[in-house]
Amino acid sequence: MKNNKWFKLIRKRRGAVSVIAAFSIIFILIIAAFVIDFGLSYLKTAHMQNSADSASLAAASLLPVSYNDTYGIQDVNQKALEYLEKNDITEEDYTINVQLNLGANNLYSSVTVDIDKHERLYIAPVIGVTHLDVSREATAQISPAIGIGNVVPLSITKELMDYAKATGQTQHLELKLGASDIDVLFGAFGALDLDGTAGGGSSLYSEWLENGFQGILYVGQQLPVEPGNMSNPTMAAFTERYDSCTHFPSSGGCTIDHYVETCPRVVIVPVITYIDSHEIVIEGFCAFIIEDCAGQGVNSIITGSFVRDIIVNGQGSIDDVLGGSNDFGLYAITLID
């Protein structure tokens, strides 16, 4: 009798143990579902986000595009899809939406890339969750560059640049004037002292002309005019820079008809207004392909042709719209979302 009682108690305990074991297994499965399924999904969403970021940046680098430029719009879409494919994100497995956003002056100024996935889960179905909807998007925008490095100590006046844009006469413009030039204002030849401190002479000027100024310059910043004609240093630095082009060797290197955007012949020039004979204010930046440095001695005139739609590493403005008065065809690109 006594023995029988003990036997029943042991059996009861065994029952309780199996209930606890069953609950433990369910509990472990739930934890596993969260850790494995949701962990994997988290890694995938991070990958989706990085892919959306890089695809929108690549696609936006083809902007600006006019609202009625069908081929241009197609190219932007294609570029985004290409970048996604490089990251193994294809329309087979994901729902992809590329959208161009229209800004001012009927120009598309940003691209949104949206990636959605109805993600199948592997362990979570035991707790009744079979799928997880994940969605990631990124928007990259271009805007006129208002803060930028690698500028050369040459310049073009806003007046001349506006005229060039309005008339379409954008080739062979003077970026540094000569002594006998009728456009010389206040005895200034267009050379600028980019570090903001008057002085430093021809060696700094040569260095900036040959390799670009290492600091960042901003729209609205005032700079001293580099006094004098700087004839010999201009010629020497120009030649070094011009000759370092290694592209299109059989047709004279980069020209306005064929060029590589990163070529040393493509220079970033401040668009300026003279305050007086000693000082200018920066109104914007534009890119030129340098062509010639003529007349040593009293002249040494640098000419170049305007290159539009260049994307640079720089700070963009949210206020300056595309096609606006500060848009000189040089753009910074930013992820805004």
Q: Site residues (CB under 5 A) for Zn ion?
A: 245, 247, 254, 263
DSSP class per residue in 135-173: EEEEEEEEEEEEEESSB-S--EEHHHHHHHHHH---SSE
- Closest separation in Å from C-beta 307 to Zn ion: 12
Q: CB atoms < 10 A from the CB of 2, how many?
A: 6
Alpha helices in the chain (DSSP H): 2-32, 39-60, 70-86, 158-167, 201-211, 231-243
The separation between CA 8 and the C-alpha centre of its own chain, rounded to angstroms, equals: 77
- Closest separation in Å from C-beta 57 to Zn ion: 24
d(CA 229, CA 185): 13
- Closest separation in Å from C-beta 244 to Zn ion: 8
Query: Considering just the CA atoms, what is the radius of gyration of the chain in Å?
Result: 31
Q: Which is nearer to Zn ion, 121 or 312 (CB)?
A: 312
- Closest separation in Å from C-beta 287 to Zn ion: 13
Q: Which is nearer to Zn ion, 263 or 272 (CB)?
A: 263
CA dihedral 22, 28, 34, 35 (to 10 degrees): -160
Q: Which is nearer to Zn ion, 106 or 244 (CB)?
A: 244
State in Å, rounded, how far the first CA of the chain is from the last one: 78
Q: Which is nearer to Zn ion, 143 or 305 (CB)?
A: 305
- Closest separation in Å from C-beta 257 to Zn ion: 12
Residues in the chain: 337
Q: Which is nearer to Zn ion, 140 or 254 (CB)?
A: 254
